[in-house]
A = this chain, B = another copy of it.
Amino acid sequence: MTVLSRTEIEPAGGVALWRQIADAIRLDIVGGKLETGDRLAGELPLAERFGVNRHTVRRAIAVLVEEGVLRAEHGRGTFVAEARRLSYPIGRRTRFSEGLAGQTKQRARTILSSRIERATARLAERLDVKPGTRLIRVETVAFADGRALSRATGWLPEQRFPEYPAVLAETGSTTEALKRYGIDDYSRGSTRISARHATTDEAQVLKLAPGAVVLVSDAVDIDAAGVPIHTLLTRFPADRMELVV
């Protein structure tokens, strides 16, 4: 049973060996090579496979145990505690709550903050308004089954959506909130997907180790007439979520 592919780890690059090893093991778990309850190879075999000292492997495992991904049992071995990665669908009619239905028991969204901002050139182009237009900026976090799944920043023109944060807080759903403004239907214009290391702010809110990878989705929603409603910058923890087109 080849538990891990013979991934050789190089010494440097600014990323500690123990972190590279932790990432490699986590990858085998969320990638499906290891399933919940499976027993990991022993520390000594793993150390040999990665070409490092046993203590370096131990540190990597300690991090994954801390994260809740692995579970170590004295004298028996180390086991996979939790494996699955959630899939978030992306399409014309993406709805947050529907997308994850069936994958999680409970879902929730929290508004971190909101404020008025002037449209930069970039935002103005996206929302098809004049630069300097007053926009509402809303910062949110989404949870499912107690784990943070996304950190999003949204912008809407204030003129069309006055008091939006209050309405969103009251309804708890983007779809419902937009209905209050007479928008019965909306769809996704374009989505740009990229990836990068998490910022310290994101790492804090999403409870990630610094240096973790986030998937970034930059989307624009449009109404039935094709007019941009709001633009949304969402960051997903790459080890917990994948996007499905």
Contacts and interface: CB of A to CB of B under 8 A. Distances in A.
Contacts of A122: 32
A14 B243 contact: no
A187 B241 CA distance: 25
A106 interface: no
A32 to B, nearest CB: 7
Nearest to A239: B196
A213 interface: yes
A13 B190 contact: no
| Total identical chains | 2
A220 to B, nearest CB: 11
A213 B16 CA distance: 15
Interface string A53-78: 00000000001000000000000000
B16 A210 contact: no
A48 interface: no
Interface stretch (A2-10, A130-138, A163-171, A222-230): A2-10
Nearest to A33: B122
Given A16-B16, A23-B197, A192-B243, 4 more contacts: A7-B200, A85-B194, A193-B244, A194-B241
